[in-house]
Each structure stands twice: as structure tokens, then as C-alpha cells.
Amino acid sequence: MPSKVVAGLGLSHVPSVGAAYDRGRMQTPAWKPLADAYVPVREWLAKLRPDVAIVVYNDHGADFMFDKYPTFAIGAAERYPIADEGFGTRPLPEVRGDADFSFHLIESLVADEFDLTVCQEMGVEHGFLVPMNLCFEHGPGGWPVATVPLQVNVIQHPLPTGMRCYKLGQAIRKAVESYPGDLRVVVMGTGGMSHQLQGKRFGFMNEKFDQMFLDELEGNPEKLAAMSHRDLMEQAGAEAVELIMWHVMRGALSAKAKRVHRHYYAPMTTGMGLITFEEK
Amino acid sequence: MHRRRPRGLGLKPIPDTTIFDLRHSQRGWRLNKLCGSLCRPENREAFKRDEEAYMALFSLTEKEKQLIRARDFAGMIAAGMNIYFMLKIGSVTGNSLYRMGAQMRGEKYEDFLATRNMKDAV
């Protein structure tokens, strides 16, 4: 059997979720709606038995500084330590990589004209870890999947376009399908949804926009990927531009992929979305 | 030869919003570099021990130092601080994202919380 992309997930990576999780607050009324939404997602993922998760995320100044800032950076290591992003290190197991798979991905993506920054060392933080802790059971023995972290510049403009991200997803699918063996891969697009964290418009959210985004991601992904950064930021807040990372995930799926889960919760300053797709 | 600085292909402004672009990043480099250094626990301790000495390590201008002394978060953003880097100095000075946000909105913390759907989700 050839290797294949078996599923894709779009989900928010809000740091307060990590703090609530680490302090055992996920069953409090404020967090239970989110916690409950992920129970069936973890069960579904456990049944899908993925070998590797490609986690498309952005660093928030834990491991990448503006002295040199890559547009796309990819992990090529056997392990990824938990980074300190300024508030200490989360008590999570070190993340396992799959360097051989990373090398193949990188060779295939660069041949397809995606000129990635290749990272032998990469500390991962909330952008990566919150989706992991929500989606996968883990403990002292580690995580049930290996990962490839794929870091996207969504904070220092100019950013890659939404369509560039979508096409990167398509190239990832092609790379996976040419990997020898029968690796089962999930792609996770993280970040968003609507939020703005600076200026007088701090706290801005737009549920109508977020629901539209979820609809279109399912039904009309190429049109959605063509949306300009400015339109996205004007309608959903400046930091909502993280949503372009969801296009990488969507681009990695076939036209036949079916939506499985969908959830939305907006308690404080960020619309927290969740959508999953499974290949048939 | 005199060369006029190009305005660039930057995005059209959005009201009450900072788009962190290369011009902001260049202007804010010293501030962002200081904040990035706070990812190490020993540096956080050094900052807490002696803020002035710590700031002196990063060649901040007097105006930039004043923004930190005053915990002027809107001013830091205007000076080129990136929001995700500002979270680190917020944390080390006891100012959560939501406290910084309330200040940037020009509101009291409690008044800001009252505008939220579920204010316990912090």
C-alpha cells in the first residue's frame, strides 16, 4: 500500500487552552464546551491510526526571531523539545519526529519549487502543542504519532498568500503519496479563527466570518484560499491571518474528503474553530 | 545619491489595527530582541532583579526604555513591538494578555472582561 494522507484537521491553537489543560481546568464550565468537542476527535484519530502528523503552525517568538525570519520552515529531526516561550516549559512529553519522512518531504517539496528553511533543531510551543494536546492521548511514554513541524510566517508581513499555502498543501499530498511504505499521515492546519490582540480593536471577533470560513473551507476551498490578507484581517482581526495555515491542510486533501467534525466556541478573545476531514 | 524611501507595497491601513510589517520590525528590533531574550528563565530573573541594567544590554533608546518603565503597551506596539513578543514582557511584569488588551482599548480590566462571552475562560 502506498503512503497516504488519511485526514486533515483545522483547529485553533489558543495558548490559554494549554494553561487550562496543564492546570486541570478543562472540565470547568468555561472550558468544558471545548473539552467535550475534542473527545470524539481523539477517538476518531485513534481509530485512524496515523503514523505521522504534519503540524502546520506558527512560532510566537519562542524559537524564531526577527533577525532571520523564514517564510516556511520545516523540521528535519528525530525529536522536537518543548520550547519556553517566556512563561516556562509546559509539562508535556518531548515530541517525536520522523527524520527520514521529513527528508523525503523536503526533497519532494523543494523539487516542487517550495524553497523551505530546513531545521535540525526546532523547539515547539503553543502553536504546535495545543493542537497536539487536544488531539492525541499522551503520557510519560510519549505521543502516539511522530510529527513534522511546519512553521509558517503569519506574523511579519509580507506573508505567503493563502493560495501559496493551499498549493503547498497540494505539494505535501504529492510528497506523501510518493513515500515508500504505507505511512498514514494526518495534516493539521492550526491558528485563528477571528481575533485581534493589539490596538483599540483588541478583542475583536466575528463569528459570522468564522462560520463562513468553515463553510467555505469545506465547500469552496480554492475560492477561500484566494481571499487577500487585508480582507481577512479587516473582517476577522489582524491576528486572524493565521487562518492561511488551514489552507495548507485543505490543499493536502482530495476533492473526495468528507467533513467529519465541526465545532465553534468563542469565550474570550478568539473564535476557536475545529473542523476535520477524512479521506474515503 | 539621494534616494527617496519607497512607500512599499504595504497593505492599506485598517482602523485601530497595527499590521506588523518590515518597517515595524526594523523600528522595533531592539524591543523585540529584549522580549525574545525573556524566553530564558535566567534572563527573566535578571530582568526582574534590575530592569534598568537589563534594558541597558539591548541599546534601547530613552523613549523605548520609558515605554517599558511606564508599561505603556499601546506605545510599545506603536514603537514596533510585535504582540507575541510583548506577551513575554507582559508576563514578566505581571500583565496578562487581557490586562494589556484592556489598557490598549483604554478600559479598566473589569470593564473589558464584562464585554466577553465567558470571562472565566482565561
**The pairing of beta strand A146-152 with beta strand A72-75:** antiparallel
pTM: 0.97
Q: For residues A276 and A263, give the distance between their C-alpha atoms in angstroms, rounded to a whole number.
A: 10
Count of C-beta atoms within a 10 Å radius of residue B61: 11
Shortest distance between the Cα of A64 and any Cα of chain B, in A, equals 9
Longest dimension (CA), chain A: 54
Which of B29, B85, B122 is facing A16, going by the closest CB pair?
Answer: B122
Domain ranges within chain B, ordered by starting residue: 22-113
| Nearest alpha carbon to residue A147 among A85, A242, A90, A81 | A81
Residue B42 CB burial class (10 angstroms; 0-12, 13-18, ≥19): exposed
Q: Residues 20..59 of B with a Cβ closer than 8 Å to A: which?
A: 20-22, 25, 29, 32-33, 35-36, 38-41, 44
CATH fold of the domain at B22-113: Protocatechuate 4,5-dioxygenase; Chain A (1.10.700)
Q: Does B108 touch chain A (CB under 8 A)?
A: no
Asked whether residue B7 carries a pLDDT value surpassing 60, the answer given is no
Give B99-108 pLDDT, tens digit per residue.
Answer: 999 999 999 9
Question: What is the distance between the terminal CA atoms of chain B, rounded to a whole angstrom?
Answer: 55
Which pLDDT tens digit goes with each residue over A8-53? 999 999 999 999 999 999 999 999 999 999 999 999 999 999 999 9
Q: Report pLDDT digits (tens) over A51-110.
A: 999 999 999 999 999 999 999 999 999 999 999 999 999 999 999 999 999 999 999 999
- Three-state SS for A101? helix
Task: Summarize pLDDT for A201-245 with one digit per residue, the tens.
Answer: 999 999 999 999 999 999 999 999 999 999 999 999 999 999 999
For an interface test with A, give the residue of B12, B105, B122 to mutate (most A CBs within 10 A): B122
Are A236 and B114 contacting, i.e. CB atoms less than 8 angstroms apart?
no
To 10 degrees, the CA torsion angle through B80, B84, B85, B91?
130
Q: Is residue B9 very low, low, confident or very high in pLDDT (cuts 50, 70, 90)?
A: low
Supply the residues of A annotated as catalytic.
126, 195
| CB contact at 8 A, A160 and A169 | no
Question: The C-alpha cell of B108 is what?
Answer: 479598566
Cell of A249: 491542510
Q: How far apart are CA A160 and CA A244, in angstroms?
A: 8
* Counted domains in chain A: 1
Give the structural domain span for A208.
4-278
Per-residue pLDDT at A18: 94
| Least confident interval from A56-65, A251-260, B3-12, B69-78 | B3-12
Task: Report yes or no: A46 at the B interface, CB cutoff 8 Å.
Answer: no
E strands, A132-248, where? 146-152, 184-190
**Measured between CB atoms, does A103 come within 8 Å of chain B?**
no
Contacts of B85 in chain A (CB under 8 A): 61
Residue contact A200–B83, C-beta within 8 A: no
Whether residues A86 and B104 touch (CB distance < 8 A) is answered with: no
Does residue A151 belong to the interface with chain B, where contact is any CB pair within 8 Å?
no
Cβ of A234 and B118 within 8 Å?
A: no
Q: Which three-class secondary structure state does DSSP give residue A39?
A: helix
Specify the 3-state DSSP secondary structure of A261.
strand
Question: CB–CB of A233 and B19 under 8 A?
Answer: yes
Confidence of residue A280 (pLDDT cuts 50, 70, 90): confident
DSSP string, A224-250: HHTS-HHHHHHHH-GGGGGGHHHHHHH
CATH of the domain at A185: 3.40.830.10
List of chain B residues whose C-beta atoms are within 8 Å of the C-beta of residue A201: 14-17
